[in-house]
Amino acid sequence: MDLKRGQVVLSWVKSLPEGTSLGSQAGMRPSGGMLTQARLRVDSAPVLAAQTVRIVPTSTQVGSRGFDPNDLALVTNAIDRALCTDLADRFKIVATSQPADLIVQATVTNIVATNRTAAAGSVVASLGGAVAGLGVPIPRLPIGLGGLAIEAEAVDKDGSQRAAMLWSRGANMITTRARVSAVGDAYSLSSAFASDFSRMVVTGKDPFKGMPAIPSMQRLRASLGGNPKYDACKAFGTAPGIPGIVAARFGLPPAWTDKGAVISQ
C-alpha cells in the first residue's frame, strides 16, 4: 500500500457513495465540514414536534468483501449505540416493538478497509514517541487509511421522510487513532456520523453550521461505559468505556473491548 491509498480515500469521500435504502433523495442539498462530505434535508417543524424515536438496527450494503461478519456487526452496532445515546438528549427512545413519532434507520453503504500493517506501524511510531518523551503527537502514516459511508433517514408514523442524510468521511493522520483492524477506522468514525445525524434531528437544522455542541452529561456518562438513559438503548450494549480508550491508545482491535449488541435469551 502506498501514498495512492490516501488519494483513493479522499476521492471516495468526495464522491459521496450512495445506497438504495432511502425512501427519497429529493430536496437533499450539499453540506459537510472540512473532513466530512454530506447531503441532507430536514423538515424542521415535524421533527421538532416529535417526542419519541424508535431506532431500527443499522443494516449494511457492503457485502462480505473480505470483512469479518463479526467486525461488521461491531460497526453497525456502534452506530446504533451512538445514535441511541445522542438522540436521547431530546427524545424518549422506545423499544422496537413500540410506536414512535420518528423511526430512524441507517445503512452502511461503503467501507474502505484500514490497512492493518500500516496501522501497526503507526501504533509503534506513536508508542515509541511516547517512550522517548516527545511532547507532540506523532501523526499516523499517510497510507492505509480507512473510511466510512452511511445514509440514514427519519420517517414519521405514516412513513413520510422527515430527515435524511448521506454522509462519508475518511480517516486522517491527526485525529483518527490507528487501530490494527480492517474496520478500525470505520468503527472510530461511526460516532462522528451518529453525532452529525442526531444533531440534525435534535435541532431540526444543518448540523455542520454553527458552533460544535457540548456533549451532555448523559452522553459523557454513556461514553464512559455507564448505563444509557433509556432501557431501549440497552439492546445495543454499553460503550467500552475506559478499557476501550486504553485499547484504542494501543491500537488494539475494537473486538477486544466492545462486546457488541445484547443477545436476547
Along the 265 residues of the chain, how does pLDDT read in single tens digits?
Answer: 344 444 445 555 556 677 788 999 999 999 988 889 999 999 999 999 999 999 999 999 987 678 999 999 999 999 999 999 999 999 999 999 999 999 999 999 999 999 999 999 988 887 765 555 555 567 888 889 999 999 999 999 999 999 999 999 999 988 899 999 999 999 999 999 999 999 999 999 999 998 887 889 999 999 999 999 999 999 999 999 999 999 998 999 999 999 999 875 3
Nearest 5°: the CA angle 244, 34, 249 is 20
Based on the structure, what is the number of domains in the chain? 1
In a domain, 133, yes or no: yes
In the sheet with 161-170, reading across from the earlier edge strand, the strands are: 29-32, 36-42, 161-170, 147-155, 102-112, 52-60, 92-94
In a domain, 264, yes or no: no
Q: Per the structure block, which three cell numbers stand in for 196?
A: 452529525
pLDDT, residue 147, reads 94
In a domain, 172, yes or no: yes
Does an H or E element contain 70, and which?
helix 69-87
Q: What is d(CA 97, CA 192) in angstroms, rounded to the nearest whole number?
A: 28
In a domain, 100, yes or no: yes
pLDDT, residue 66, reads 83
Q: What is d(CA 70, CA 86) in angstroms, rounded to the nearest whole number?
A: 24
Q: What is d(CA 237, CA 161) in angstroms, rounded to the nearest whole number?
A: 28
In a domain, 191, yes or no: yes
In a domain, 261, yes or no: no
What is the domain range of residue 238? 4-255
In a domain, 76, yes or no: yes
pLDDT, residue 13, reads 54
In a domain, 155, yes or no: yes
pLDDT, residue 211, reads 82
